[in-house]
C-alpha cells in the first residue's frame, strides 16, 4: 500500500520493457489493455482513499536519490493531481482498447504508449524538480516518435514542429528551475531540488518576476497559449488517433497543471502582477481559437483549435486567483480531457471508416452510423458546455469566480459559449447532416459503412459515463479539487 503510487506510475514502463523484449504482438495488446486497466484500478483506489479534508499532500514517498545535489525521489498527490491521474489512467485504458486493431509495428507502438503513460502519471506526482523534469521530458520523446512514425502525410514535419516547439519551451522551463535552484544555493548554502524546500524560501520579487516568466513560457507552449499555439493543430492533424487523444486529453494539461502547481505557490506576488497579461492572452485564445476553429474544413484541426479555446478558459480561471475559479480551471482540465479525447476518438473513427478528415468529403452520415452519431453528439455537447455534462460545471465555476473581480473579462470569455456551439454544431452539420445535398454515389458508399464496434464502444462509454457523472454529481469532485485551491490560494 505504501508504494501504491510508485507502482501505479511505473507499472506501464515495466510492461513496456517486457513487451519490447518479447516482441509478440498479441501479448503486447493483451498486456497493454490489462495493465492499463490495473493502473486505472490503482488510480481509482488512490482517488477514493484521498482524504480531501486533510491538508497537505498524500501518498507521499521520499527517498534520497542523489543526496549531494539535494535530489530525491519524492512523490505525492494533492486533489488536482489525484483527479488528473484518474483521468489519465482512464484515457490510456481507452487508448489501448481502441488500439486493438493496430497492425503497423504494434509492439513498438504499444511500448511507446506505455512509456508515455508512465511519464504522464509521473509529471502529476513528482515533488522534486529533477524528477519532474525527467518525466516532463520523458513525455516528449515517445510522443515525438508516435507522431513521426504513425502519422499521416506530413508526419515528419509535424513531429519536428512539435519537438522543436516543446523542446524550446522546456529549455525555458529548465532555465526557470536553474534560476530558483541557484538562488536557493546562495540563500541557504546548499542545493535542493525539493518542492517543499523551495516553497519555504519565499523568493524576492525580482526573482519571482524573472522565474515566473521563464516557467510561464515553458508552460504556455505546452498548453498551448496564444501566440505559441500553432504546433498543436499541425501535430493533431498528423498524429494517429490514439496520439491525438493523449496529446489533447493529457499532455495539454501539463502546462496548466504546472501553472497551478508551480507558478502560483512559488511566485505568488509575480502571479498577481502578471494577471493582466495572462488574461489578455487567455481571452484572445478563447475567441481567436474559436474563430480559427469555425474556419476549418479538417475535423481534427477544428478540434485542435477548440482545445486551444478551452485551455484559454483554464488559464483564465487559474489566474483569477479565486477559489471557485481555480476549482473550475481544474474541473475544466478533467472535462476537456474527456471531451477532447472523445472528439478525437470520433474523428479517428470517421477516418477508419472513410479515410478522410475533410468535411467536404463527408456529410449525411447520421442516418448510416446512428450509434456513432449519438456518441459524437454527446462528446461535442460536453465540449460546448451543455448542463448535465462535465464541461458546463467547469465553465460555470470559472466564469463565476472570474466575474467576482473581473466581470468584463468573464463576459468576454463567456462568449466562448456561443462561439463554441457555433463551430461544433456547424461541423456536426457538415459531417452528419444534409444528406440531400450530397451526390448519390457517396450515399451508396455510406450504406455499406459499419457502425461502432466493441473496441470503439468501450472507450466511448467509459469517457461519456465519466462526463455525465462529472456533470450530474459534481460535488465530490469539486471538494477534492478544492483541496488544491486551499493549498494554492492559502485559504
Partner 1 sequence: MESLIILLSPLISFILISFFGKSIGDKISGIITSLAGAVSFVFSLGAVFRSLEEPYHIKLYKFLPLEGYDLSVGFYFDPLSSITSAVVTFVATLIFVYSIGYMHHEFGNWTFKFYAYLSLFLFAMLLIVLSDNLLGIFFGWEGVGLASYLLIGYYHQQLKASNASLEAFIMNRIGDWLFIFGIISCFLIFNSLDILTIFNKIPSADPYFLGLATLLLFGGAVGKSGQLPLHTWLPNAMAGPTPVSALLHAATMVAAGVYMIARLYPLFDAAPQTLKFVALIGGLTALFAALAATSHTDIKKIIAFSTMSQLGYMFLGLGVGDPEGAMYHLTTHAFFKALLFLAAGSVITAFHHKLYDIYSFGGLKRYMPVTYAGFTVGALSLAGVFPLSGFWSKDRLIGSYYEVSLVWGLLGSVVAFITAYYIFREGFVVFHGEERFRNRVGYEIREVGSEMKIPVLVLLVMSVIAGLAEGWYMKAVGGMEKSIHLDVALSSFILASLGIASAYVIFVKRIPNPEKAYSALKILHTTLKEQFFTEKLYHRVLAVGYLKGSKIVHTVGEKHIVDGFVNLLATAVQNVGKNLRFAQPGKLNWYAFGMVGGLSFLVVLLFVLLFTE
Residues 72-131 that bind partner 1 (CB under 8 A): 73, 105, 108, 111-112, 115, 118
426 lines the binding site for partner 1 (CB under 8 A): yes
Residue 475 burial (C-beta neighbours within 10 Å; 0-12, 13-18, 19+): exposed
Neighbours of 54 (CB within 10 A): 9
Alpha carbon distance 353, 355 (integer Å): 6
What letter would DSSP give residue 355? S
Question: Given the complex with partner 1, which of 146 and 266 has the nearer CB atom?
Answer: 146
240 lines the binding site for partner 1 (CB under 8 A): no
Question: Closest separation between CB of residue 186 and partner 1, Å?
Answer: 32
Question: Given the complex with partner 1, which of 184 and 243 has the nearer CB atom?
Answer: 243
Radius of gyration for the chain, computed over Cα atoms and rounded to the nearest angstrom: 22
Q: Which residue has the cell 502546462?
A: 255
With contact defined as beta carbons under 8 Å apart, do 88 and 117 qualify? yes
With contact defined as beta carbons under 8 Å apart, do 315 and 259 qualify? yes
Alpha carbon distance 91, 338 (integer Å): 8
Show the binding pattern over residues 448-477: x = contacts partner 1 (CB under 8 A), - = does not: -------------------------xxx--
Question: Closest separation between CB of residue 139 and partner 1, Å?
Answer: 12
Alpha carbon distance 312, 414 (integer Å): 11
C-alpha cell at 254: 501539463
Alpha carbon distance 463, 467 (integer Å): 6
Question: Closest separation between CB of residue 417 and partner 1, Å?
Answer: 5
Question: Given the complex with partner 1, which of 82 and 110 has the nearer CB atom?
Answer: 110
**Contact set for partner 1, span 380-419 (CB under 8 A):** 381, 386-388, 392-393, 396-397, 399-400, 403-404, 410-411, 414-415, 417-418
Before 224, cis peptide (omega within 30)? yes
Q: What are the φ/ψ torsions at residue 386 (nearest 5 degrees)?
A: -80, 130
3 lines the binding site for partner 1 (CB under 8 A): yes
Question: Given the complex with partner 1, which of 254 and 431 has the nearer CB atom?
Answer: 431
Angle at 373 between CA 372 and CA 378, to 5 degrees: 100
**Contact set for partner 1, span 250-309 (CB under 8 A):** 288, 291-292, 294-296
Question: Given the complex with partner 1, which of 49 and 405 has the nearer CB atom?
Answer: 405
Give the DSSP H/E element, type plus range, for residue 426. Answer: helix 416-432
Question: Closest separation between CB of residue 37 and partner 1, Å?
Answer: 20
Alpha carbon distance 302, 181 (integer Å): 41
479 lines the binding site for partner 1 (CB under 8 A): yes
Q: Which of 40, 47, 92, 165 binds partner 1 (CB under 8 A)?
A: 165
Alpha carbon distance 242, 255 (integer Å): 20
**Contact set for partner 1, span 173-212 (CB under 8 A):** none
14 lines the binding site for partner 1 (CB under 8 A): yes
Question: Closest separation between CB of residue 474 and partner 1, Å?
Answer: 5
Q: Which of 156, 280, 449, 461 binds partner 1 (CB under 8 A)?
A: 156
Question: Closest separation between CB of residue 282 and partner 1, Å?
Answer: 16
Q: Which of 231, 257, 372, 446 binds partner 1 (CB under 8 A)?
A: 231
Helix H, strand E, coil C: the string for 158-213 is HHHHHHHHHHHHHHHHHHHHHHHHHHHHHHHCCCCCEHHHHHHHCCCHHHHHHHHH
Question: Closest separation between CB of residue 410 and partner 1, Å?
Answer: 7
Question: Closest separation between CB of residue 165 and partner 1, Å?
Answer: 7
Alpha carbon distance 58, 484 (integer Å): 12
221 lines the binding site for partner 1 (CB under 8 A): no
C-alpha cell at 239: 498524429
Q: Which of 53, 437, 441, 448 binds partner 1 (CB under 8 A)?
A: 437
> What does the DSSP assignment read for 325-346?
HHHHHHHHHHHHHHHHHHHHHH
Question: Given the complex with partner 1, which of 175 and 421 has the nearer CB atom?
Answer: 421
Using the contact rule CB under 8 A, the part of the chain among 171-179, 203-211, 320-328, 454-462 near partner 1 is: 320-328
* Interface size with partner 1, residues (CB under 8 A): 83
Question: Closest separation between CB of residue 345 and partner 1, Å?
Answer: 21
Alpha carbon distance 318, 311 (integer Å): 10
Question: Closest separation between CB of residue 297 and partner 1, Å?
Answer: 10
Using the contact rule CB under 8 A, the part of the chain among 6-14, 75-83, 207-215, 339-347 near partner 1 is: 6-14
Amino acid at each position: 500500500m505504501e508504494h501504491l503510487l510508485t507502482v501505479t506510475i511505473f507499472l506501464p514502463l515495466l510492461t513496456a520493457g517486457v513487451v519490447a523484449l518479447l516482441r509478440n504482438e498479441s501479448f503486447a495488446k493483451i498486456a497493454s489493455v490489462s495493465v492499463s486497466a490495473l493502473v486505472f484500478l490503482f488510480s481509482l483506489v488512490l482517488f477514493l482513499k484521498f482524504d480531501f479534508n486533510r491538508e497537505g499532500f498524500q501518498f507521499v514517498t521520499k527517498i534520497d536519490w542523489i543526496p549531494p545535489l539535494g535530489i530525491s525521489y519524492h512523490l505525492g498527490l494533492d486533489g488536482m493531481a489525484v483527479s488528473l491521474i484518474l483521468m489519465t489512467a482512464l484515457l490510456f485504458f481507452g487508448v489501448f482498447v481502441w488500439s486493438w486493431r493496430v497492425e503497423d509495428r504494434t509492439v513498438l507502438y504499444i511500448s511507446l504508449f506505455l512509456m508515455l503513460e508512465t511519464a504522464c502519471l509521473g509529471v502529476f506526482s513528482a515533488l522534486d524538480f529533477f524528477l519532474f523534469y525527467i518525466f516532463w521530458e520523458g513525455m516528449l520523446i515517445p510522443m515525438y516518435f508516435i507522431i513521426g512514425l504513425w502519422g499521416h502525410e506530413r508526419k515528419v514535419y509535424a513531429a519536428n514542429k512539435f519537438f522543436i516547439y516543446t523542446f524550446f519551451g522546456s529549455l525555458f522551463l529548465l532555465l526557470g528551475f536553474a534560476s530558483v535552484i541557484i538562488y536557493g544555493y546562495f540563500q541557504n548554502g546548499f542545493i535542493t531540488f525539493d518542492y517543499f524546500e523551495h516553497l519555504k524560501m519565499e523568493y524576492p520579487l525580482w526573482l519571482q518576476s524573472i522565474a515566473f516568466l521563464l516557467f510561464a513560457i515553458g508552460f504556455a507552449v505546452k498548453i498551448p497559449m496564444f501566440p505559441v499555439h500553432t504546433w498543436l493543430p499541425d501535430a493533431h492533424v498528423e498524429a494517429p488517433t490514439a496520439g491525438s487523444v493523449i496529446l489533447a486529453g493529457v499532455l495539454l494539461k501539463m502546462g496548466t497543471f504546472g501553472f497551478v502547481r508551480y507558478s502560483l505557490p512559488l511566485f505568488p506576488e509575480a502571479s498577481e502582477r502578471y494577471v493582466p497579461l495572462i488574461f489578455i492572452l487567455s481571452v484572445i485564445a478563447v475567441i481567436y481559437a474559436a474563430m480559427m476553429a469555425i474556419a476549418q474544413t479538417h475535423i481534427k484541426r477544428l478540434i485542435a483549435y477548440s482545445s486551444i479555446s478551452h485551455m484559454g478558459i483554464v488559464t483564465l480561471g487559474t489566474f483569477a486567483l479565486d477559489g471557485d475559479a481555480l476549482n473550475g480551471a481544474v474541473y475544466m482540465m478533467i472535462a476537456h480531457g474527456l471531451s477532447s479525447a472523445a472528439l478525437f476518438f470520433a474523428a479517428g473513427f470517421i477516418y477508419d471508416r472513410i479515410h478522410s478528415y475533410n468535411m467536404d468529403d463527408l456529410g449525411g452520415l447520421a442516418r448510416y452510423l446512428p450509434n456513432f452519431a449519438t456518441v459524437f453528439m454527446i462528446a461535442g455537447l460536453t465540449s460546448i458546455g451543455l448542463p448535465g455534462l462535465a464541461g458546463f460545471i467547469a465553465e460555470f465555476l470559472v466564469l463565476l469566480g472570474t466575474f467576482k473581480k473581473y466581470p468584463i473579462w468573464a463576459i468576454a470569455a463567456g462568449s466562448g459559449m456561443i462561439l463554441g456551439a457555433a463551430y461544433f454544431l456547424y461541423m456536426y452539420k457538415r459531417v452528419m447532416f444534409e444528406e440531400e445535398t450530397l451526390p448519390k454515389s457517396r450515399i451508396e458508399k455510406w450504406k455499406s459503412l459499419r457502425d461502432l464496434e466493441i473496441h470503439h464502444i468501450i472507450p466511448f462509454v467509459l469517457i461519456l459515463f465519466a462526463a455525465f457523472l462529472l456533470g450530474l454529481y459534481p460535488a465530490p469532485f469539486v471538494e477534492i479539487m478544492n483541496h488544491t485551491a486551499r493549498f494554492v490560494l492559502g485559504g
